Copies of this chain bind each other. A is one copy, B any other.
Amino acid sequence: MASEQGLKIAVIGGGSSYTPELVEGFIQHYNELPVRELWLVDIEPGKRKLNIVGNLAKRMVEKSGLPIEVHLTLDRREAIRDADFVSTQMRVGMLEARGRDESIPLKYGVIGQETTGPGGMMKALRTIPVLLDICRDIEELAPNAWLLNFTNPAGMVTEAILKHTNVRSIGLCNAPIGLIKRTAAKYGVATDRIYAEFVGLNHLHWVTRVDVNGEDKLDELLADTAGYSASNVPAREWNPEFLQSLRALPSYYLKYFYMTDAMLEEQLESFHKGENRAEVVKRVEEELFELYNDPDLNEKPKQLEQRGGAFYSEAAVNLMCSLYNGKNDIQTLNVANQGIIDFLPDDASIEVNCVVTKNGPLPLPLTKIPPMATGLIHAVKTYERLAIEAAVTGDRGLAIQALAHHPLVPSVEVAIKMLDEMLEANKAYLPQFFKASETGIS
């Protein structure tokens, strides 16, 4: 640990367009989180972006006058060695793979989404082995480091790491902090006056309590859900009678389950018009990198905030601060269940409020679990566990089972056909599924 002279932080996928936000966070919180070395690491194909965003980072630090060293590297092991915190934000297969994740399911009449449904499963199959590799490095080179995982599907990736490695890992999503920020704004209070209870999984949670200054405002919020949405999920209205009897605020990702038919129709429409969320994001990113490349820019540009992942960096810096200082404050994180949701296994990852102690997050018991939600939580977790094991083993049978048991997939037959096409399309990123045939050829 380098913590005596300051912290070493490794950002894997450091060439991401989000990086300036993170750098801004480190600068703003320097007095409680004394970063000495910031290592931005990326892979060869991301070198250009790494250089652009890395140089912006250096200019930002220089402007701040703080003694933070910014290192750019393609050598992951050098970045990880003795790090105090490792964060990951990556996209195995890049935006091209995301485009396929979103479009292939549509051919089979199934929701095509980056983290939910068959698209999310493909992302998991590509991503989990890479993360586990990173964890091997952390186990060897920085066994006391905390791994903050932003890489989606964050819940599944976190569970894979908890089950298959000894790395101290926490999964993070910006949705909870987003809800808290919006509620604080709505009521004109500081965020620490909001206490919201989240029940469920990453991208599959229900909010069952929202206290503002200690008073439960859930009913008020259930009555007013206009605008309760996110920029990367198309906005549709919730049925008020349904929300009243549900007595919980569903995550906007739950629209894929509660409005499957309408969401699918919308996706198909966009698809046939040639629209493509991956393409949009790609364009936005290119514009951002053009801005970043301006040698006169030495702060986070405003445009970055319009991007989907608002508050990601804030969530990350908050978490690092609390772990480093043992703040014992409450944050919503993806951690091992440990009995909190009593029908899930202890080692399942869940999204839950935690007290962040110096020794890591302790999940808080849930005060209410909506009985309506239990089946869907368990159904999606069943799929997730099968998919994680498929990702680790490359077992085609498990992949079939995972997909066939996903609530959004209408039949075993569709599952198998769709899987075949998706495996083939992702072949370059799925060595675990193609070992046998490769051997067979030689």
Contact = CB atoms under 8 A, between A and B. Distances in A.
Contact of A367 (B241, B261, B359): B359
Interface string A364-392: 11010001101110111111011000000
Nearest to A329: B328
Contacts of A329: 328
B411 A258 contact: yes
A227 to B, nearest CB: 19
B398 A385 contact: no
Contact of A214 (B359, B376, B405): B359
A400 interface: yes
A256 to B, nearest CB: 10
A195 interface: yes
Given A244-B397, A375-B379, A379-B375, A411 B359 contact: no
A326 B214 contact: yes
Interface stretch (A283-291, A306-314, A336-344): A336-344
Nearest to A415: B242
B385 A365 contact: no
A156 interface: no
B405 A372 contact: yes
A259 interface: yes
A374 B345 CA distance: 11
Given A376-B379, A381-B375, A410-B261, A416 B214 contact: no
Task: Determine how many copies of this chain the complex contains.
Answer: 4
A375 B364 contact: no
Given A339-B342, A364-B355, A401-B246, A412 B239 contact: yes
A341 to B, nearest CB: 10
Given A380-B375, A386-B371, A411-B258, A400 B241 contact: yes
B359 A412 contact: no
Nearest to A238: B412
Interface in A196-215: 209, 211, 213-214
6 contacts: A211-B358, A213-B326, A239-B413, A242-B412, A262-B411, A375-B382
